[in-house]
Structure 1
Amino acid sequence: MTGRVLLVSPAMSVSLRQARFDDGGPLDDTGVARARSAAGALPSAARVLVSPGERCRRTAAALGLDGVPVQELAGLDVGRWRGRTLDEVGAAEPEAVGRWLSDPGCAPHGGESVRDLCARVARWLANAQDLEGRTLAVVEPEVVRAAVVDALGIPDSVFWRLDVPPLTVTELSGRAGRWNLRLGRPPAAGGSD
Structure 2
Amino acid sequence: MTLRVMLISPAAGPALRAARFDDGSPLDEPGIRRAREAAGSVPRAARVLTAPSARCRGTAEALGLAADAADAPADLDVGRWRGRSLEELTAGEPAAVAAWLSDPGAAPHGGESLRDLLARVGSWLDGLPPEEGRVLAVVEPAVVRAAAVHALGLPPEVFWRLDVPPLTLTELTGRSSRWNLRCGRPLA
The 8 Å contact of residues 5 and 128 in structure 1, kept in 2 or not, is answered as no
Asked if 1:3 is matched to 2:3, the reply is yes
Give the 5 Å matches for 1:96-107.
96-107=96-107
Deviation of 1:30 (Å): 2.5
Aligned pairs for 1:49-60 within 5 A: 49-60=49-60
For 2:137, the equivalent position in structure 1 comes to 137
Unaligned runs of 5+ in 1: 189-193
Aligned residues: 188
> Following TM superposition, by how much is the alpha carbon of 1:176 offset from its aligned partner in structure 2, in angstroms?
6.0
TM-score normalised to structure 1 length: 0.93
CA, structure 1 residues 71+19, in 2 after alignment: closer, same or farther (shift >3 Å)? farther
Partner of 1:80: 80
Mapped contact 2:125–2:176 kept (Cα < 8 A):
no
The one-letter code sitting in structure 2 at the alignment partner of 1:174 is G
Query: 5+ unaligned residues in a row in structure 2: which ranges?
Result: none
CA distance in 1 between counterparts of 2:27 and 2:74 reads: 17
Q: Distance in 1 between matches of 2:71 and 2:108?
A: 22
CA distance in 2, matches of 1:61, 1:4: 22
State percent identity of aligned pairs. 66
Which residue of structure 1 lines up, in the alignment, with residue 122 of structure 2? 122
Counterpart Cα distance in 2 of 1:71 and 1:127: 11
**Partner residue in 2 for 1:170:** 170
3-state SS in 2 of match to 1:73? coil
The structural deviation recorded for 1:26 is 2.5
- Provide Cα deviations, 1:103-136, integer angstroms capped at 9, x if missing partner: 1110000000011000001001111252422000
Distance apart, 1:12 and its partner CA: 0.7
Give the alignment's TM-score, normalised by structure 2: 0.95
RMSD of equivalent CA atoms: 1.3
**Displacement, 1:66?**
1.5
